[in-house]
Structure 1
């Protein structure tokens, strides 16, 4: 092995991104083994590590930036403490050099994604530098006391001062060698046992408060999660600190920093291989310590995937409940073979269970396979019930059956699927594919198979909030919730009040939107509950939802717990029965995923699967998974609406996903009706202007239509609209109006007629709304131009011009004009003039001898104009006016 510098090229020594002390120590040792080599550190290293080396030890390294090296001249790349291509930053570009020689020194086991090496030196030591120490010793390479200190520090840090179970005798021997060479124990002790800063204490406290311990296959595994907009350089140190302080055997800490999620794993248990568990995330490490970073995924999504991987990998005995698929797809015996075939195709399964009742709730009767269905369809028997052809001879499994029993039952009976039954009900199925994948997974290291979302078990944070509910809810609302819980319990269902209602409860905001989710048949519950409450019910069988309307007009929405899947981006969801956790996982943002149980035995128990309480406290809007806006782009409108309504902030990753959705033009696939519905809700907010500006900031408005451009003049007009609308609302006028239309007309001001029509087409406005936005707006603009030229008009002229105008048109004019005179004219009409009417009626005209006829309406109209202009004031004035006008309508009126 030639470790001298190449005559014909450069040797570069590098390590992994976010290098720790062991990585830096190994780089220094490798530099000694390869004289003349250049050290390149990819990315940032730990903050304390940077300060230490920059301030005191930088002179030891022949260091350079990757950008300053002539890449094509590099003929040898030496990697230490990593073998992973995706963990060495821009140094990976050197791997493309023709004839490049790659040497690797690492204490991490080989894994997928390792670079192809010409020389690979691997030993199972606690620190990589321990491997290199032996080589330095064997080759009698001199090292200074400062160099020995740095190298020894790497051993102390990566073995936890020789306390980690990964520590080997070779680590002790290497440390002794470095001590003989003058390593300073005082320097090492000061760095390894350093005090934490106040900022670090705060982050550590958040980690502890946001930690949960899961019992996974008999093993306690703690997960801690935090959000921070800035990168935390000492995260691995804080994870180690938390593990030591709390006495945790297995700890995985997750931190969303900007648009990345970082995971650091620490394990003292042989059953939990941290490196293997983080391998599917592109991470690396060894069984006792590992890390990974994931781009463009939301923290709840990463946490769910990590839990899924843990449940697959942390195992002593594989049980049926751990590998079964659920919810179960089942049919009743009377279903036609054609319909059964459609179910098999829809769910992409090869066998269908047949049960007494829908949704696998009744006794199991048998099953029917795809092959049998295909033969039945071939023989044109598609309308025959499946009961005539189903297989009734099948083995069953219990939820605690072990893998060996499952394998025996499936193989011995040549059974395509094995139902898992508990208390007479089918709770899941195990297919031959499930069994095969499990067996392969247990035999192949590095297999990245994860269970389906339906296999994810629930481990929510819980909290009793009965007291909060009693303090913040009105007695009528509390009675409805309690009665709903009682009804659900009698039907053997579980009932939860969910979403915005619970969110607003925590924010001390009143809300009229009560959403109840039923783990069971939501429509059956709604019918029973409405009957008890003497209320009306309307249900929608396709979606499993219902609306209950009470005698006072108040309403509650009821839904069956469901899992939605989208057939393509921006599609409406397809709805299936599921559990409360999966129902909440389909929702838009974490702050809307809180649920409160209503059943009598658990009334007031809050369940929080996705750290919604934390996000409410931190005032942050976050999606639950990275495809949220792909599946439903209208969620972007809601993100902006919630952000501005509550004074929250859209998280950095969520903001990035919004920009990507706009860039990918997902909104063009949405129907105009859905876009209009979301835009209308924003325009109906108390103050929609900040939300409109935010939409413009995301280029969302112009993505809907290029004419929806916002400039300073438009923003000023929108703020003026806010003032005008608030003024009108304070009048407490009974006449209803469309506030959102006023804002929309302001946004559309100045648009040509064809552009207006195009925008109305895009938003699919109903005819009456289209008429107002187009012709109504142009009529209002015409009035504005006229009144600006005639500021001294009489009241009767103003009345004639505005009579028949809609409230929206008048408020629009007040919003877009800069003239106080114009605003006063319109406000005078709204407050006074439109309510003026003659004191006399037609019968009065008859009594003074004026013959009935068309003249009556003309006289009363002229009297109204005279009263508006204060030419008549009393009843007698009006009667005199009427008599004279009747005798000489033209001459007298003109002289008047």
Structure 2
């Protein structure tokens, strides 16, 4: 294992150097040796930790570290717990540092030590020498490291190499506005009281739901570099937008800073006679008093601050609705089926995508009370809430916030803007009696609003969290740079083309599930699953037509599979929701939205999506805080009845836990044990359970998963015929361990010929045979019947077990068998039977004989063919096979080595003039 680290209390130079080192050591893992400084914690809260795959020390096996790459220090005592790695036998030490030599410095196998202003400059030179390029975000991070350790190139330690590095980083797209936000200068004794005055005279205004701070100050004389104080105040108070009106002597100045797109300070400064860009600007104001300037500033803020529309993006669609005549009992069934708490009531919902005539809403609480009062058969129109407000798709966050929080409306219907011009609405979007024919295009819940507020780092109380436990502040972020860095060009082009097709069809396309999960984990996964908000089957047909591929559709489940010319398979599904009529039932599928589609999935780590449409390509969608579970390496279900609805998820939880080296959360584990204790598996469908078991047995290390299943008392479920002493005992562990080693040996042996039919093997079948190695054939037969295995697999399993068990006994007594005997003994076994035989072998000579057969003997061919025998004068018949096999045995035993010797041997053994020939 390789890890990259820096000193404890890491700074920007250390962080930037770690990320740069990752470019040179792509397989290494980034690990902080200890805590980080406050500015660095603020920077890391932007999810850079997830983007670059940082790991905690507690997730690292320090004893397995074989290479330690240390940046920005050479002092072992500054590595914290990672100092233990230095004791590992044979560990390589690679050092990158700019500090002067000091007592206690480590010595490295590779050293890049230079007297420059920052370690970042060393890495920039190395990256340039290798012809590498950076993404703008990476260039910005490295610029932060340069500016911090060189004091923005004012420290005496600054060298020409630092300035050359800065110039190259600017060419790579470094954003100096970000550098300005995080790199601060020490204030002088004269500046500190001025900063206090600036803070005391600040007032916060809310303009179109955006918080804007304005500070007024009068000073007797001009103060140089006052913008430094404005920037420092912005950082200290974590402000999104700050306007400082400062009267210095006889002149009035405006200094503006913003880090949000809703406030473009350049426009406002130009309106007041100045200039600048969107994030920083200034103006010198003439012929106005301080109060007149403030009045004009507030007017311009209300005119130019225009927050983007939120409702259309935030809403969930299509909407689950009910008509007024259904009963409370029926409405209660709908709430349970779709796992929702409020039902909009409409006049007509025959077109589910466009239900019309909003009449009111009814909540689970009201329905439950009505049923408790014996009113379950009454229509919901009698007790629904009719006094409610609606909003258009163009509504802003302020509109949503006012209705949900201030008006305490728990569900907010979103209607189309231009349904009918004659429908009057007030400023809050409240509908009138004439407005009840509006078409509902989505709904927003209180949870949706909470997620929106959490998505804004300004609403997040960071000081309440330890840096390593800080949750992901961004539920939606763009990871296109990570995609470009991780995926091949062909895959990127394919995903972009998929997004363009969706755009042309007026649909939204996402890649979901394991592909998105493994991309964030930086693990290779080319199983592309596409979810389309629209008609997935129509989309798949269009994709197949453009790529000249074949398509197979599944109309019942509104899914399709596209097979590209190069063999790649793309699964396409319509965004859908599933509900279960009873525990362990097959799900019923209906079209839905992306959010509901992700909610139906098994675990949070599989409920991620990446937008593919051109305007939002690479945007990660995370409704369920899945990024935190990835960061914490945690398996967590999406709702408490998950294992009741589908008990096969127990097997999936165990498989993901072992494959990804994650940990099932304590609550999810409790829910799993509850499902086992309630015997939910007794209602299972055999093939569905076996599909999950087959995936577990097909993993590289199935024994770990089987041990975990046994900890949940699931062995009686899987193999009720096994006697108690045939569970996880020492012999069982030995056999399964030997099976894993045997399969690994087989895969490595035929790595280059993996496509050959003779080198293919159903590894799950080998493991299953190993599990039943000490059982009778009848017990395996019962298992096949219970799990409804296909007849072909049943026959293969039973036949290979019967033959291999018999051969194992024979070979046990023949430690010195000749090659021909081994060949004819093993010739009837398929790859699965051969590997099973090697796994159960009690003696070393059996494994050696089978191994020799697989790697050397099996491919041996006889020197003679039937045509050769006819040319020698033999009459075709059953004896031909006997003669050919005779020469093959002689060749295997080394008795002959050429065709001529084979002919001589045949003529001696079977003379042509013999009556038999």
1:743 paired with 2:767, answer yes
Counterpart for residue 724 of structure 1: 742
Shift of 1:773: 2.5
Shift of 1:723: 0.7
1:327 paired with 2:318, answer yes
Shift of 1:399: 2.8
Contact 2:874-2:912 at 8 Å conserved across structures: no
Contact 1:328-1:359 at 8 Å conserved across structures: yes
Contact 1:885-1:892 at 8 Å conserved across structures: no
C-alpha distance in structure 2 between counterparts of 1:395 and 1:541, whole Å: 41
Shift of 1:780: 0.8
Counterpart for residue 528 of structure 1: 542
C-alpha distance in structure 2 between counterparts of 1:842 and 1:713, whole Å: 48
Contact 2:413-2:444 at 8 Å conserved across structures: no
Q: Compared with structure 1, are the counterparts of its residues 557 and 425 closer, same or farther at alpha carbon in structure 2 (3 Å cutoff)?
A: farther
Aligned pair partner of 1:808 in 832, 836, 847:
832
Contact 2:498-2:543 at 8 Å conserved across structures: yes
1:360 paired with 2:378, answer no
Contact 1:741-1:808 at 8 Å conserved across structures: yes
C-alpha distance in structure 1 between counterparts of 2:734 and 2:604, whole Å: 34
Shift of 1:534: 2.2
Q: Compared with structure 1, are the counterparts of its residues 847 and 525 closer, same or farther at alpha carbon in structure 2 (3 Å cutoff)?
A: closer
Counterpart for residue 869 of structure 1: 893
Gaps of 5+ in 1: 1-214, 221-244, 249-319, 368-393, 407-417, 427-449
1:779 paired with 2:803, answer yes
Counterpart for residue 794 of structure 1: 818
Shift of 1:776: 2.1
C-alpha distance in structure 2 between counterparts of 1:451 and 1:474, whole Å: 38
Counterpart for residue 666 of structure 2: 652
Contact 1:396-1:420 at 8 Å conserved across structures: no
C-alpha distance in structure 2 between counterparts of 1:327 and 1:535, whole Å: 31
C-alpha distance in structure 1 between counterparts of 2:913 and 2:803, whole Å: 32
C-alpha distance in structure 1 between counterparts of 2:796 and 2:743, whole Å: 17
- Taking the TM superposition and a 5 Å limit, the aligned residue runs for 1:459-478 are 459=452, 461-478=475-492
Contact 2:345-2:358 at 8 Å conserved across structures: no
Counterpart for residue 428 of structure 2: none
SS in 1 for 2:557: coil
Q: Compared with structure 1, are the counterparts of its residues 365 and 504 closer, same or farther at alpha carbon in structure 2 (3 Å cutoff)?
A: same
Q: Compared with structure 1, are the counterparts of its residues 566 and 246 closer, same or farther at alpha carbon in structure 2 (3 Å cutoff)?
A: farther
C-alpha distance in structure 2 between counterparts of 1:729 and 1:811, whole Å: 11
C-alpha distance in structure 1 between counterparts of 2:802 and 2:865, whole Å: 36
C-alpha distance in structure 2 between counterparts of 1:508 and 1:865, whole Å: 52
Contact 1:520-1:561 at 8 Å conserved across structures: yes
C-alpha distance in structure 1 between counterparts of 2:876 and 2:735, whole Å: 50
1:547 paired with 2:540, answer no
Q: Which has the larger radius of gyration?
A: 1
C-alpha distance in structure 2 between counterparts of 1:219 and 1:639, whole Å: 43
C-alpha distance in structure 2 between counterparts of 1:741 and 1:849, whole Å: 47
Aligned pair partner of 1:675 in 665, 689, 692:
689
Aligned pair partner of 2:867 in 843, 864, 885:
843
SS in 2 for 1:858: helix
Counterpart for residue 594 of structure 2: 580
Shift of 1:536: 2.1
Contact 2:502-2:539 at 8 Å conserved across structures: yes
Q: Compared with structure 1, are the counterparts of its residues 516 and 892 closer, same or farther at alpha carbon in structure 2 (3 Å cutoff)?
A: closer
C-alpha distance in structure 2 between counterparts of 1:616 and 1:656, whole Å: 20
Q: Compared with structure 1, are the counterparts of its residues 861 and 366 closer, same or farther at alpha carbon in structure 2 (3 Å cutoff)?
A: same
C-alpha distance in structure 1 between counterparts of 2:685 and 2:666, whole Å: 28
Q: Compared with structure 1, are the counterparts of its residues 531 and 620 closer, same or farther at alpha carbon in structure 2 (3 Å cutoff)?
A: same
Shift of 1:483: 1.2
Counterpart for residue 423 of structure 1: 417
Counterpart for residue 560 of structure 1: 574
C-alpha distance in structure 1 between counterparts of 2:595 and 2:865, whole Å: 68
Contact 1:396-1:421 at 8 Å conserved across structures: no
TM-score (norm. length: structure 2): 0.51
SS in 2 for 1:887: coil
Aligned pair partner of 2:508 in 478, 489, 494:
494
C-alpha distance in structure 2 between counterparts of 1:246 and 1:694, whole Å: 49
C-alpha distance in structure 2 between counterparts of 1:717 and 1:861, whole Å: 35
Counterpart for residue 760 of structure 1: 784
Per-residue CA shift, 1:566-591, capped at 9, x if unaligned?
A: 11111122222222222212211111
C-alpha distance in structure 2 between counterparts of 1:830 and 1:485, whole Å: 47
1:859 paired with 2:883, answer yes
Contact 2:604-2:629 at 8 Å conserved across structures: yes
Per-residue CA shift, 1:656-705, capped at 9, x if unaligned?
A: 11111111111121111011100111111122221121111211222233
Counterpart for residue 794 of structure 2: 770
C-alpha distance in structure 2 between counterparts of 1:889 and 1:849, whole Å: 9
C-alpha distance in structure 2 between counterparts of 1:697 and 1:395, whole Å: 54
1:711 paired with 2:729, answer yes
Q: Which moved more, 1:846-855 or 1:589-598?
A: 846-855
Per-residue CA shift, 1:106-165, capped at 9, x if unaligned?
A: xxxxxxxxxxxxxxxxxxxxxxxxxxxxxxxxxxxxxxxxxxxxxxxxxxxxxxxxxxxx
C-alpha distance in structure 1 between counterparts of 2:681 and 2:209, whole Å: 47
Per-residue CA shift, 1:151-182, capped at 9, x if unaligned?
A: xxxxxxxxxxxxxxxxxxxxxxxxxxxxxxxx
Shift of 1:710: 2.3
Q: Compared with structure 1, are the counterparts of its residues 524 and 891 closer, same or farther at alpha carbon in structure 2 (3 Å cutoff)?
A: closer
Per-residue CA shift, 1:616-658, capped at 9, x if unaligned?
A: 1111111122111111111111111111111111111111111
Contact 1:662-1:703 at 8 Å conserved across structures: no
Per-residue CA shift, 1:756-798, capped at 9, x if unaligned?
A: 2221112211112112322321221111011111222222222
C-alpha distance in structure 2 between counterparts of 1:794 and 1:860, whole Å: 18
Contact 2:777-2:801 at 8 Å conserved across structures: no
Contact 1:634-1:674 at 8 Å conserved across structures: yes
Q: Compared with structure 1, are the counterparts of its residues 520 and 633 closer, same or farther at alpha carbon in structure 2 (3 Å cutoff)?
A: same
Per-residue CA shift, 1:785-815, capped at 9, x if unaligned?
A: 1111122222222222111211111111110
Shift of 1:729: 0.9
C-alpha distance in structure 2 between counterparts of 1:878 and 1:585, whole Å: 70
Shift of 1:247: 10
Shift of 1:246: 8.4
Shift of 1:754: 3.0
Q: Compared with structure 1, are the counterparts of its residues 759 and 610 closer, same or farther at alpha carbon in structure 2 (3 Å cutoff)?
A: same
- Taking the TM superposition and a 5 Å limit, the aligned residue runs for 1:277-288 are none
Contact 1:360-1:425 at 8 Å conserved across structures: no
C-alpha distance in structure 2 between counterparts of 1:537 and 1:359, whole Å: 28
C-alpha distance in structure 2 between counterparts of 1:343 and 1:772, whole Å: 51
Contact 1:596-1:605 at 8 Å conserved across structures: yes
Counterpart for residue 267 of structure 1: none
Shift of 1:466: 1.1
Counterpart for residue 258 of structure 2: none
Q: Compared with structure 1, are the counterparts of its residues 892 and 874 closer, same or farther at alpha carbon in structure 2 (3 Å cutoff)?
A: farther
Q: Compared with structure 1, are the counterparts of its residues 530 and 458 closer, same or farther at alpha carbon in structure 2 (3 Å cutoff)?
A: farther
Counterpart for residue 399 of structure 1: 391
